[in-house]
Amino acid sequence: MLPGLAGSYWMDSTDATSFPHLAEDVETEVVVVGGGIAGLCTAWELARAGRSVVLLEGSRIAAGTSGFTTAKVSALHTLTYARLRRSAGPEAARLYARSQQEAVEHAAEVAAELGADCELERVPAFVWAESASGLDRIREEAEAAREAGLEASLVAETGLPFPVAGAVRVEGQAQFHPRRFLLALAADLVRLGGRIFERSRADGLHQNGPCRVTVRGGGTVTASDVVVATHYPVFDRMLLFPRLSPRRELVVAATVPADHDPGGMYINAEQPVRSVRTAPFPDGMRLLIVTGESFAPGSSGVAQRFAQLAGWTRERFDSPQFVYHWAAQDIDTTDGVPFVGRAPGGSGHLWVATGFGGWGMSGGVMAGRLLAALITGEQPPWTGLYDPRRLHLGREAVPLAENQAKVAWHFVGDRLRGRPGSAAEGLPPDCGTVLGIDGRQCAVYRDPDGRLHTLSARCTHLGCLVRYNEAERSWDCPCHGSRYAVDGSVLEGPATAPLARLDTGPAETPDDGPAEPTEPATSAAAAGADG
């Protein structure tokens, strides 16, 4: 039994959006693909700078990872500063700290400017270790963060209800309701003349002459510049796929009395990773939000991982009453720094924001400011730090090789493990599996009423075989993290086309254009789980 309702509190406590589908051809100065925090912030910053902007979202805005995040707006990203100081030097760490802390301050300023009722709270952020063996890393991070310019200190006590060996504490951070912040941003974007189109999945990019972005089952946007802010880039030509790896993070949320609030945002520096924060909740309670149990998309045992996370929460906090559980997807880069800027392999008018590594709230705000500055002719001092065209083979060789080996193994190995089609007869209700049927690899799901639904198991991105995620009722690709609902519609890119349906005729596909997508309550698709 999973803890609480399947769904995100952020989604459950806000109204659904209803922007139109792009059915006709339009022209604009900048088209932004992706309606999460990075895309919305970029579009808003550009509109505020006087540019005409069109934003395309394949599902609903602020309803992917940005609607399923932990929503920490923090410049303290676990052990980032010690790692950056060692690998890229003290100046890189300083630029990272300055850009991220300015993003924290900017988010607070924008929320106040727009009068957004997003429950923004200024709180300290902590990275803790419980074991004496982890204390040296905590000391190093505190020193590196302080040297990078953050208001950081090493402390022996926190507000957590259990002892720690030590923690890094950084003042002046923030937490908020991400959907309320982003919906306020979207409303102001429209006020400024920006146009938002939902259920408008970009599936083609042409860069000869003016850029053109085509929408599946819809129109075309012609623009001078294209920003791809889809979490995992949906266009292969950027040459970034080998340098990105997806992972999922689980979240459990429980009510606790207000006097049980630990008074800050927390993440540990040990395994298993646990992240903790609270948020305002009705009736004077606080919502305790605990994140962890990182795993690669397509991994088995997701329900057991939820149980482990809930068990840890019960052990550490007094009588939590679970009300929600959900999941989000993060994208890591091979050198641990996001890719934000001019896309490699593009025409010079193609821009990208991806790879926030679980820190998409501060990262998304930073990306919006950076991309808007670059497109309008400015050059912030951290441009080179985040430049997607950078390549540091000394730091990236091992993760590059690991990413490629993983994809190759799944692409070949999964095909050798096809199961016989007769297994479909014994498939229980509300279960799915991949079977070999008549020489084809099929994704077979039996719904609660006992009906079988059969799809092609080949991911429409690059052809890897999907796997069934029993806890989230989705088909997940282990190669690049694409995810599909049980009807085959796309939940998460980089795939843009649905899985082919095999149960109602050859090569039929669900309509992935203007129709409302079928999405399990725990799906996620656009920014970062922890921040």
What is the distance, to the nearest Å, from the Cα of residue 395 to the centroid of all Cα atoms in its chain?
Answer: 24
Q: Encoding tokens for residue 86?
A: 């060692």
Residue 244: pLDDT band (50, 70, 90) is very high
pLDDT of residue 505: 40
Q: Which residue has the higher pLDDT, 105 or 409?
A: 105
Class of domain 23-397: alpha beta
Task: Let me know: does 42 contact 369? Beta carbons within 8 Å.
Answer: no
Distance CA 229, CA 216 (A): 17
Task: Let me know: does 45 contact 30? Beta carbons within 8 Å.
Answer: no
What are the residues facing 196 on neighbouring strands?
Answer: 55
pLDDT higher than threshold 80 for residue 142? yes
Q: Which residue has the higher pLDDT, 420 or 172?
A: 172
Q: Which residue has the higher pLDDT, 426 or 49?
A: 49
What type of residue sits at position 510?
A: P
Of 183-192, 276-285, 338-347, 351-360, which range is least confident?
Answer: 338-347
Give 491's Cβ-side CA count (13 Å radius): 27
Task: Let me know: does 186 contact 62? Beta carbons within 8 Å.
Answer: yes
Q: List the chain domain ranges.
A: 23-397
pLDDT of residue 402: 60
Task: Let me know: does 369 contact 45? Beta carbons within 8 Å.
Answer: yes
Kindly tell me the sign of the dihedral angle through the C-alpha atoms of 193, 195, 196, 201: negative
Which candidate, 292, 285, 293, 294, places its Cα nearest to that of 254?
A: 285
Question: CA geometry: angle at 281 spanning 278 and 282, to 5°?
Answer: 165
Percentage of the chain lying above the pLDDT 90 cut: 78
H or E element at residue 247: strand 244-257
pLDDT tens-digit profile of 62-111?
999 999 999 999 999 999 999 999 999 999 999 999 999 999 999 999 99
pLDDT tens-digit profile of 456-483?
999 998 888 999 999 989 999 998 889 9
Q: Encoding tokens for residue 375?
A: 């497109």
pLDDT higher than threshold 50 for residue 513? no
Residue 49: pLDDT band (50, 70, 90) is very high
The position carrying tokens 């083979």 is 393
pLDDT higher than threshold 70 for residue 452? yes
Phi, psi (5° rounding) for residue 432? -140, 160
- Radius of gyration of the chain from Cα atoms? 22
Beta strands in 9-163 (DSSP E): 26-27, 30-33, 53-56, 72-73, 121-129, 152-155
Sheet containing 202-206: order of strands: 26-27, 220-223, 211-215, 202-206
DSSP-H helix ranges across 342-431? 360-375, 383-386, 393-413
pLDDT tens-digit profile of 262-289?
999 999 999 999 999 999 999 999 999 9
pLDDT of residue 40: 98
Distance CA 357, CA 249 (A): 11
pLDDT higher than threshold 80 for residue 507? no
The pLDDT of 327-356, averaged and rounded, is 93
What are the residues facing 305 on neighbouring strands?
Answer: none
